[in-house]
């Protein structure tokens, strides 16, 4: 139900009458013991939320629903890789989480211990996360299939008592063996976990190390009737750490609390995602990323919704697979990434008409900026609101979007929206720190402290790094930098223009790669584009564009490629001016991306400049970068 006072008043209360506002939001969840203090900001930039309160994430996600909806769908597992579909009710999920909790306790895991989870998208991954929350262990989920060297760094940083993993994952019908990668990571790591619990999916052979490795199915059999109570956690206790993707050098573990995160998710499910108990939520992300933590595992379950855990591609067995699931499970809220929509855009548009999508209230998109042509295409196809949202691993939940659960407001294509309640979002001049208040003035997007509930507490084991990395980049100001450029229009809607470190300086002109990409993507024969700044002796940097054409048959010879390149450059000239025109437009069949769909712009830039592209363990298709190397050779 919309707030009668409207979103502007709702937002104002969240920042000006903060304690009363967040006390109301805290009423959305169960507390074992009420909190004494809403926000402790005595030591900026650190914020401690709901001090004195005791609660538990697993209790709020599972146990509290047993009274009213024990037999309702809770976890819907769908794998188009193994053709398995399995539904767990809240009652069944409760039993499985207790079995996993008993297994972990049997391996010596205690409150405050770390458990590293290196898993494919299978139910046991969710059981492991919830079991850790249940017994007060700190989980650290690492994206399944991550390379051994990077995994070893995370093992050393988290120093887990136990690791939960599996024989293998599968992607596009290709088996990715996890066990050899894990064995090599443990060999490389200084810290040696005492126990490794392995789920055998029968996808790849496993050699168990005696005394260290354990078969999960055998351990589970010993605990079928396990009764493991929830460990009541202080609100400020750590719930999990998650490593930011693309980290170079020492991994940066984003550390999250318990009570603040719980309240933030419960509030966001109501005010932003408009989810109601008994409905179904479908996030196409992965548990290895923050979206998977917040909006596959915890958020929907806290709200009493069923959540779909999906293993597979959006186009396998065909481009209609996601829409089939929307129809079958009456999905009301869907959350995906712009890249996935661009992939679907290449499929037969008939798939959107083939299924009954009337249950769907909205499609939310995040992970990268949403370009207007893609937003318009999916909006026309689905006929529901397309709601972009902007946030980070560090924030845990959306910073900028539209809170339609408070007041219905229109989305603007190209903009993620307005600041969410609790976030004091400002635009600051990069060099002077001066606040930019005019329309369309370009600055660094920052957040004034205290950051709201659910935001990172600090960097795991490194408070100094937290302060120096995030809070000291703007001269003379203690503000959290998102490291993104943005502008705000006259209506208060923000537009994200790209990373502050993705800015191109061409002959003294500062250009955001995002602006150039937006211009290029408006050409009718452009499906995807990545623009990077490449070092140039004359101009300092020049823009280089890499384009995937919608109709590659139109690029049969060099003359047709030159013709299209000329058309694209002319379009950039007309929209942004000659200074923004790329030095070259190169045509590729696929762009280098992570498995979650983020463009690897820095890796592309490194290849263009003849440098080492660095850690590419999260890369989806190594051949994509090789294609660029070959083009430049």
Looking at the structure, tell me whether residues 568 and 424 fall in a common domain: no
pLDDT at position 515, please?
79
Which region among 1-15, 270-284, 479-493 has the lowest average model confidence (pLDDT)? 1-15
CA angle 551, 553, 557 (to 5 degrees): 125
pLDDT at position 358, please?
96
594-626: pLDDT as tens digits: 877 788 888 899 899 998 887 776 777 888 899
Task: Place 552 in a pLDDT band, splitting at 50, 70 and 90.
Answer: confident
pLDDT at position 594, please?
83
* Residue range(s) defining the domain that contains residue 566: 507-632
Looking at the structure, tell me whether residues 201 and 283 fall in a common domain: yes
Site of tokens 């976890």:
75
In a domain, residue 533? The reply is: yes
Looking at the structure, tell me whether residues 526 and 444 fall in a common domain: no
611 versus 38: which is more confidently predicted?
38
pLDDT at position 4, please?
57
Task: Place 342 in a pLDDT band, splitting at 50, 70 and 90.
Answer: confident
pLDDT at position 3, please?
53
Looking at the structure, tell me whether residues 295 and 423 fall in a common domain: yes
Give the CATH number, domain containing residue 546.
3.30.300.30
Residue 307: name the closest of 581, 485, 62, 543 by CA.
Answer: 62
Distance CA 10, CA 15 (A): 9
Q: Where among 482, 517, 538 does a domain terminate?
A: 482
Mean pLDDT over 500-505 rounds to: 71
In a domain, residue 487? The reply is: no
- Cβ neighbors of 523 (< 8 A, separation 6 or more) are 567, 568, 571
Looking at the structure, tell me whether residues 536 and 425 fall in a common domain: no
Number of C-beta neighbours around residue 232 at 10 A: 16
Query: Do residues 517 and 531 lie in contact, with contact meaning Cβ atoms separated by under 8 Å?
Result: yes
Q: How far is CA 510 from CA 29, 112, 429, in A?
A: 47, 47, 13
The number of folded domains in the chain is 2
In a domain, residue 494? The reply is: no
In a domain, residue 343? The reply is: no
**What's the whole-model pTM score?**
0.86
In a domain, residue 368? The reply is: no
Looking at the structure, tell me whether residues 266 and 412 fall in a common domain: yes
pLDDT at position 599, please?
86
280-294: pLDDT as tens digits: 999 999 999 999 999
Looking at the structure, tell me whether residues 468 and 539 fall in a common domain: no
Question: Is pLDDT of 268 > 50?
Answer: yes
Which region among 64-73, 112-121, 361-370, 473-482 has the lowest average model confidence (pLDDT)? 361-370
395-426: pLDDT as tens digits: 999 999 999 999 999 999 889 999 999 999 99
pLDDT at position 508, please?
65
Question: Is pLDDT of 386 > 80?
Answer: yes
Q: Tell me what percent of the residues of the chain surpass a pLDDT of 90.
A: 77
Distance CA 334, CA 310 (A): 12
pLDDT at position 563, please?
94
In a domain, residue 367? The reply is: no
Q: Where among 421, 449, 482 does a domain terminate?
A: 482
Rg of the Cα trace of the chain?
A: 24
Give the CATH number, domain containing residue 140.
3.40.50.12780
Q: What is the dihedral of CA 518, 520, 522, 524, to 10 degrees?
A: -150
Query: Do residues 332 and 275 lie in contact, with contact meaning Cβ atoms separated by under 8 Å?
Result: yes
Helix ranges, 136-258 (H) = 148-158, 179-188, 216-221
Question: Is pLDDT of 248 > 50?
Answer: no
298-331: pLDDT as tens digits: 999 999 999 999 999 999 999 999 999 999 999 9
Site of tokens 């920042």:
15
Q: How far is CA 378 from CA 348, 523, 524, 592, in A?
A: 13, 17, 16, 23
Query: Do residues 519 and 576 lie in contact, with contact meaning Cβ atoms separated by under 8 Å?
Result: yes
Looking at the structure, tell me whether residues 467 and 541 fall in a common domain: no
Please state whether 312 falls in left (phi above 0), alpha (psi between -120 and 50) or beta.
left
Looking at the structure, tell me whether residues 77 and 213 fall in a common domain: yes
Looking at the structure, tell me whether residues 446 and 583 fall in a common domain: no
In a domain, residue 231? The reply is: yes
Which residues in 431-441 are b (16+ Cβ under 10 Å) and which e?
Answer: eebeebeeeee
Q: Where among 441, 466, 482 does a domain terminate?
A: 482
Q: Tell me what percent of the residues of the chain surpass a pLDDT of 70.
A: 97
Mean pLDDT over 134-161 rounds to: 92
Question: Is pLDDT of 499 > 80?
Answer: no
Structure tokens at 315: 């186009």
pLDDT at position 367, please?
80
Looking at the structure, tell me whether residues 462 and 595 fall in a common domain: no
In a domain, residue 169? The reply is: yes
Looking at the structure, tell me whether residues 404 and 285 fall in a common domain: yes
Question: Is pLDDT of 156 > 50?
Answer: yes
pLDDT at position 246, please?
37
């Amino acid at each position: 139900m919309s707030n009668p006072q409207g979103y502007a008043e709702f937002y104002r209360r969240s920042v000006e009458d903060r304690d009363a506002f967040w006390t109301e939001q805290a009423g959305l969840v169960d507390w074992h013991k009420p909190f004494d203090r809403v926000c402790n900001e005595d030591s900026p930039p650190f914020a401690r939320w709901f001090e004195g309160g005791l609660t538990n994430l697993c209790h709020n996600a599972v146990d509290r629903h047993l009274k009213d909806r024990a037999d309702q769908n809770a976890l819907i597992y769908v794998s188009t890789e193994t053709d398995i579909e399995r539904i767990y009710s809240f009652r069944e999920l409760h039993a499985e989480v207790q079995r996993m909790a008993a297994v972990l306790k049997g391996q010596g895991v205690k409150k405050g211990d770390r458990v590293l989870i290196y898993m494919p998208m299978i139910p046991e991954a969710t059981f492991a996360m919830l079991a850790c929350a249940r017994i007060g262990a700190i989980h650290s989920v690492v994206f399944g299939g991550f390379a051994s060297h990077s995994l070893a760094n995370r093992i050393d940083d988290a120093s887990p008592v136990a690791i939960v993993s599996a024989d293998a994952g599968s992607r596009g019908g290709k088996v990715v063996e996890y066990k050899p990668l894990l064995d090599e990571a443990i060999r490389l790591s200084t810290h040696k976990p005492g126990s490794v619990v392995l789920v055998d999916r029968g996808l790849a052979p496993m050699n168990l190390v005696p005394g260290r490795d354990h078969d999960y199915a055998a351990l589970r059999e010993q605990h079928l009737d396990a009764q493991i109570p929830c460990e009541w956690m202080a609100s400020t206790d750590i719930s999990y750490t998650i490593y930011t993707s693309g980290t170079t050098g020492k991994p940066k573990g984003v550390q999250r609390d318990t009570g603040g995160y719980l309240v933030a998710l419960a509030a966001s499910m109501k005010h932003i995602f408009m989810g109601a108990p008994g409905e179904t939520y479908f996030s196409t992300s992965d548990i290895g990323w923050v979206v998977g933590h917040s909006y596959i595992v915890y958020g929907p379950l806290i709200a009493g919704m069923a959540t779909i855990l999906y293993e597979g591609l959006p186009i396998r067995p065909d481009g209609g697979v996601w829409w089939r699931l929307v129809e079958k499970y009456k999905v009301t809220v869907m959350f995906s990434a712009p890249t996935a929509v661009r992939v679907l855009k290449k499929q037969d548009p008939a798939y959107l008409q083939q299924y009954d999508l009337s249950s769907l209230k909205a499609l939310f998109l995040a992970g990268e900026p949403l370009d207007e042509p893609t937003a318009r295409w999916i909006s026309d196809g689905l006929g529901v609101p397309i709601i972009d949202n902007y946030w980070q691993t560090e924030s845990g939940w959306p910073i900028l979007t539209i809170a339609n659960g408070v007041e219905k407001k229109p989305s603007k294509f190209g903009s993620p929206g307005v600041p969410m309640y609790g976030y004091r979002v400002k635009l600051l001049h990069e060099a002077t720190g001066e606040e930019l208040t005019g329309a369309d003035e370009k600055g660094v997007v920052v957040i004034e402290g205290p950051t709201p509930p659910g935001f990172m507490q600090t960097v795991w084991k490194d408070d100094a790094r937290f302060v120096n990395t995030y809070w000291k980049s703007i001269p003379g100001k203690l503000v959290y930098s998102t490291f993104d450029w943005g502008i705000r229009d006259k209506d208060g809607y923000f537009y994200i223009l790209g990373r502050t470190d993705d800015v191109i300086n061409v002959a003294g002109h500062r250009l955001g790669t995002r602006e150039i990409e937006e211009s290029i993507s408006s050409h009718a024969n452009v499906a995807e584009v990545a623009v990077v700044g490449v070092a140039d002796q004359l101009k300092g940097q020049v823009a280089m564009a890499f384009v995937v054409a919608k109709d590659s048959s139109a690029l049969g010879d060099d003359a047709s490629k030159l013709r299209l390149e000329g058309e694209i450059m002319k379009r950039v000239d007309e929209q942004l001016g000659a200074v923004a025109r790329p030095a070259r437009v190169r045509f590729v069949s696929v762009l280098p991306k992570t498995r979650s769909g983020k463009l690897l712009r820095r890796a592309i830039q490194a290849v263009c400049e003849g440098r080492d592209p660095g850690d590419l363990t999260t890369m989806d298709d190594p051949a994509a970068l090789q294609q660029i190397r070959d083009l430049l050779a």
